[in-house]
Homo-oligomer: A and B are copies of this chain.
Amino acid sequence: MTDDRPGPAVLGQNQYGKAENRVVRITRDGATHHIKDLNVSVSLTGDMEDVHLTGSNANVLTTDATKNTVFAFAKEHGVDSAEEFGIHLARHFVTSQDAIRTARIRIEEYAWERIEAPGAGEAKHSFVRKNQEIRTAQIGYDGHRWQIVSGLKDLTVLNSTASEFHGYVKDRYTTLPETRDRILATQVHARWRYGWTDEATPMPPWDLAYEHTRRHLLHAFAETYSLSLQQTLYQMGARVIEQLPEIDEIRLSLPNRHHFLVDLEPFGLKNDNEVYFAADRPYGLIEATILRDGAEPAIPVDMTNLP
């Protein structure tokens, strides 16, 4: 006799922590101050059946305590780089709590630059937020191995020429005219994974690697004569893999920010690739991973949740 009733509910993957802790760390070197401005999110997994099933919090380190730890560690360890700060945190949660098996720290970093004011004398404590892009870091730890995925987002770039688009499939719903000269614009969202996983080996120079990756992404974007945004994306990713041996994988999510040439003929005007309408929605969305040959992909496919 079979039982066709659907099975009962069981608990699957679960994680928890405090999200978006906004910590600002000032370091004073005499009259010269330094600033680190982070948004830190903690996510923990472990022995958490009970709290879900019975509400017993016996294994639960509170999200409030994880928040306190972020601020206390900013004092105790300082913030050398987002990655290193995250490593301190992840190690602490996994090694200090029996019930915690893995920790994942996500960090956004906001860059500041100095205000060079002639009347400020020796004082160097004034800053203006740079705002160009947001740097990101994700630090994963299971007690044995590390996974570091760094990245950036909201870096908006544009080529005003050197972009063509033609030779594509023409199906029943294709109306787009081919073009030999268009604006190519996108908002770069990139995440790259370092090969470093073992604490016994030296860490990559996180800040330097970030600056190099950022620069290579910009240069590859500018230097690629583009026949499609996919081609540009691949060039950007491959450049990073080829130039930075410490990076094994990079994923790029590039919205195609359409700039439509405005038809000025009704007004007796010729638009010689001069006047464009910058559209909001819809937009093309081109996403791909570029890997070092032989590397296993580990960055999740979806980097946006929209819609």
Contacts and interface: CB of A to CB of B under 8 A. Distances in A.
B37 A168 contact: no
The residue among A10, A176, A221 with the most chain B CB atoms within 10 A of its own CB is A10
A81 interface: no
A51 interface: yes
Given A19-B284, A61-B168, A120-B219, 15 more contacts: A6-B292, A15-B287, A19-B283, A26-B183, A39-B307, A41-B307, A60-B228, A61-B174, A64-B176, A65-B173, A71-B275, A119-B222, A123-B222, A136-B307, A304-B305
A143 to B, nearest CB: 17
A59 to B, nearest CB: 7
B52 A233 contact: yes
8 contacts: A6-B245, A7-B295, A13-B297, A17-B285, A18-B282, A62-B174, A126-B221, A128-B155
Contacts of A66: 173
> How many copies of this chain sit in the oligomeric assembly?
4
A202 interface: no
Nearest to A43: B285
A242 B8 CA distance: 6
B22 A282 contact: yes
B129 A13 contact: no
A233 to B, nearest CB: 7
B173 A69 contact: yes
Contact of A75 (B61, B218, B264): B264
Report the contact-size class of chain A (Cβ under 8 Å from the partner).
35 or more
Contact of A288 (B13, B71, B125): B13
Contacts of A278: 22-24, 37
B158 A274 contact: no
B266 A60 contact: no
A169 interface: yes
B292 A223 contact: no
A256 interface: yes
Contact of A174 (B64, B219, B269, B290): B64
Nearest to A24: B276
A212 interface: no
A290 to B, nearest CB: 5
B20 A283 contact: yes
Contacts of A76: 269
A197 interface: no
A293 interface: yes
A41 B275 contact: no
A211 interface: no
Contacts of A33: 160-161
A114 to B, nearest CB: 9
A168 B62 contact: yes
